[in-house]
Amino acid sequence: MPEPAERRGMTVAEKIAELQDQRARLLLGGGPDRIARQHKAGKLTARERVAALVDPDSFQELFLFARHRCQMFSMADKELPADGVVTGAATVDGRLVHLASQDFTVAGGAAGQVHSEKIAEMMSLSMKTGSPFIFINDSGGARVQEGIDSLAGYGRVFYHNVLLSGLVPQISLICGPCAGGAAYSPALTDFIIQTRRAQMFITGPSVIKEVTGEEVTAEQLGGPGAQMNYSGVVHFVAEDDLDAAQLCRKLLSFLPQNNLEDPPRLEHSETIVADESLNTIIPDDPKKPFDMKEVIYRIVDRSDFLEVQPQFARNAVIGFGRIQGRTVGIVANQPMVLAGALDIDSSDKISRFVRFCNAFNISLVTLVDVPGFMPGVKQEHGGIIRHGAKMLFAYSASTVPKVSVILRKAYGGAYLAMCGKDLGADYCAAWPSAEVAVMGAEGAVGVVFAREIESATDQAARRAELIEAYRREFSTPYVAAARRLIDDIIEPADTRRYLAYALEALQNKRELRPEKKHGLIPL
């Protein structure tokens, strides 16, 4: 394209000054008034979010001068700085990331063809360089003026989401509206961090609260009597944009750059001190709950545990911690909720997390206190068999180091689903309080000794006697240890030491599987 006539006589210095003027104008996005409105709404601008997330002075913006090609609906002469999305590369804690941050001050952050092409180009660079991709969402949706071209742009982003899946970590920050088809890109990423002011929906704002995983009032969900909805779409809820950026930085600190690297190992003390408080954390009454998170805090470095989806399927706990500086993915039952039983939602929650950890070389630590799969017609009709099978598949398919510790109950199929020895656990230990059995003693006695109890003079006393005998003979960890279903019975105080030694021994684990395109998880 020939140089415009007005530029032909310009000196180099004048052209540099022109560049500086254009850059300064474009960096203002939608201009001071719209930036002020963004701040008044309690939100940062696209570039302010990037600055909060990345290391100081590390951001290199790409495609600042990109411009849409739409000629319809008065768009031909309409300038949209950076086409409404800030894209580039930066470092977080010295490690490379590529990112895109939608600019709501420019046409409401609406996504047109060039807008989406910029995002997809960043994803391609993530793939080429083996670096995480971060997408900060704040958009009213597709740019209607561009019609199907905007839809094609979305399609390209979705396609690249899938290309990156399992290759590099993908994290979405929802800091404003994320409407319609745009919501599917975050749904295809590994983790979603949403601020409390943000909105994420397909068909309308009336369902905004359903996707946060946060408990809300009935009035917020459509009036008195409305059912609470915990959809599990969002993994972390942040107070504001700054909090979302800090959460993202912390999450990245646990993760490797890509699927060919191990997570970074931090400095740690070589001395491991036994924690005597763990010896008293299990109640004497097997029906009495305890908080599994207290166990987790005591076995990870500096009690630093980043829980994932804390408000969704709370009968299961998942998240990242470190043991002797090594990142581990922790999966645990939570006896405080539904007695720690596995249901549809917790099965999905655990399965997805296990598959993420396996994709990115993160060792799995499983803490077991599970009375079984949740019974009931609602669970059966909802497909608990299919959902529970996801856990069996996810753990069996995982080749990363897997260490399980049975704290108390480990009953039936749920015992297997929580990474029992036969599902590939490399190390499996039990506390003295562990009960490994097909079912609880109370249920088993009712089946095995039904006639004997019926014929007893004092049925209650005979039942209690048989329950105690069954528990003594079949529900102790020593029976499982004798059959090598567990490798060791350990004192609870030594759990951290046991895990540290097991992970050290497994650091070079290699497990070959039959060559195939991929397995068929029961989705």
Active site residues: 180-181, 413-414
- Rounded CA gap, 145 and 148, in Å? 9
- Rounded CA gap, 308 and 286, in Å? 28
86 close to 175: Cβ distance less than 8 angstroms: no
Which residues are CB-contacts of 82 (< 8 A; sequence separation ≥ 6)?
26, 29, 63, 64, 65, 66, 103, 106, 118
Residue burial 235-271, b: 16+ Cβ < 10 Å; e: rest: bbbbeebebbbebbeebbbbbbbbeeeebbeeeeeee
Q: By CB neighbour count within 10 A (0-12 exposed, 13-18 middle, 19+ buried), where does 279 fall?
A: middle
Beta-bridged to residue 429, according to DSSP, are: 405, 488
Residue 496, classed as helix, strand or coil, is helix
- Rounded CA gap, 185 and 331, in Å? 26
Instruction: Enumerate the H helices of 130-255 as residue ranges.
Output: 148-164, 184-188, 241-254
- Rounded CA gap, 515 and 488, in Å? 33
- Rounded CA gap, 412 and 373, in Å? 8
Q: Rounded to 5 degrees, what angle do the CA atoms 107, 108, 113 make?
A: 65
Residue burial 25-35, b: 16+ Cβ < 10 Å; e: rest: ebeebbeeebb
Separation of CA 513 from chain center: 26
- Rounded CA gap, 376 and 506, in Å? 40
- Torsions phi, psi for 150 (to 5 deg): -70, -35
Cα 236 to Cα 7, 84, 324, 424: the distances in Å are 51, 26, 25, 30
Q: Residue 170: which H helix or E strand, with range?
A: strand 170-179
- Rounded CA gap, 209 and 274, in Å? 44
333 close to 315: Cβ distance less than 8 angstroms: yes
Residue 378, classed as helix, strand or coil, is helix
Which residues are CB-contacts of 490 (< 8 A; sequence separation ≥ 6)?
405, 429, 430, 431, 498
